[in-house]
Structure 1
Amino acid sequence: MLRDDEIERLEDMGFKRWTKGDMDRLYVDADKLGLECDFKRDHEPCLGSWQGRRVSNADCRRIYYSKVWVDVKDGSLHVKSDFRPSIGGTSVEDAARRLVLSVIPGKD
């Protein structure tokens, strides 16, 4: 179980708490993990960079729509993403793991 101070530190970094039924999660958006992008008129992400490297519009959308959360009950990290980085690139899961470990050492 995450302690209150750990939850507060994650929230300070941009995680948003969500609870429903017996689920208690802290979600984080891709921009906190290193995505920078513009948006088209139809609000679709485009013209993006990931961790400082230019990505295609399709990859920008894949990263943007990734779901990343930490389960408050056990501190486990969960990532659902269709983004597959090129060789030497950073995955969404790796970026999320680094961010969580910077706040809560030993959790992943």
Structure 2
Amino acid sequence: MKDPHLTTAQFIAQLREIGGCPWKAADGTQRVYFNDLPDLFGLELVYYKSGNIKSAKLDGDRISNTTARRICGDLATLKLWVDPADGTTHVRHQFRPIFDYDYHAILTEAVSDRVAEVPCPAPD
């Protein structure tokens, strides 16, 4: 996913452009977290004012509101981050997901596709 010609700072800038939130530990470890997992996963949700789902699509195909709610429940238990040093994507599950989707593969592909659409930032 990471262009080998980019510096880590440039890659972080690309990840920020697509919604990533950089984080740096005291020991210098860097990660870029993603919070809008339903959007990355391909869910399109419309809500009532009450907060309940009015309609849902997954990759453009209509799905039931119950299925959408369950997928959102699965995604809410995940942590997704990218290691900016080498571009690897990591997904951690807090609980066992309801659905048998390969969340790691789907989210990694979504991040890669979005990064590919972002122009390379200028060198520092």
TM-score by length of 1: 0.64
Q: Which amino acid aligns with 1:9?
A: Q
Aligned length: 97
Structure (1 or 2) with the greater helix fraction: 2
Distance 2:24 2:48 in 1: 29
Aligned to 2:22: 17
Q: Which amino acid aligns with 1:61?
A: G
Q: Is the 8 A contact 2:83 2:89 kept in 1?
A: yes
Distance 2:44 2:92 in 1: 19
Higher relative contact order, chain-length normalized (CA < 8 Å, sep 6+): 2
Q: Which amino acid aligns with 1:99?
A: A
Q: Is the 8 A contact 2:31 2:81 kept in 1?
A: yes
Tell me whether 1:84 sits opposite 2:96 in the alignment. Answer: no
Aligned to 2:110: 99
Structure 1, residues 62-103: CA drift from partner, whole Å, max 9, x if none? 123321110123321101242423xxxxx3222222233332
Q: Is the 8 A contact 1:26 1:70 kept in 2?
A: yes
Aligned to 1:66: 78
Tell me how far 1:39 sits from its aligned partner: 8.2
Tell me how far 1:49 sits from its aligned partner: 4.0
TM-score by length of 2: 0.58
Distance 1:20 1:35 in 2: 32
Greater CA radius of gyration, 1 or 2? 2
- Structure 1, gaps ≥5 residues long: 86-90
Distance 1:95 1:80 in 2: 14
Distance 2:31 2:48 in 1: 27
Indicate the RMSD between aligned Cα atoms, in angstroms: 3.0
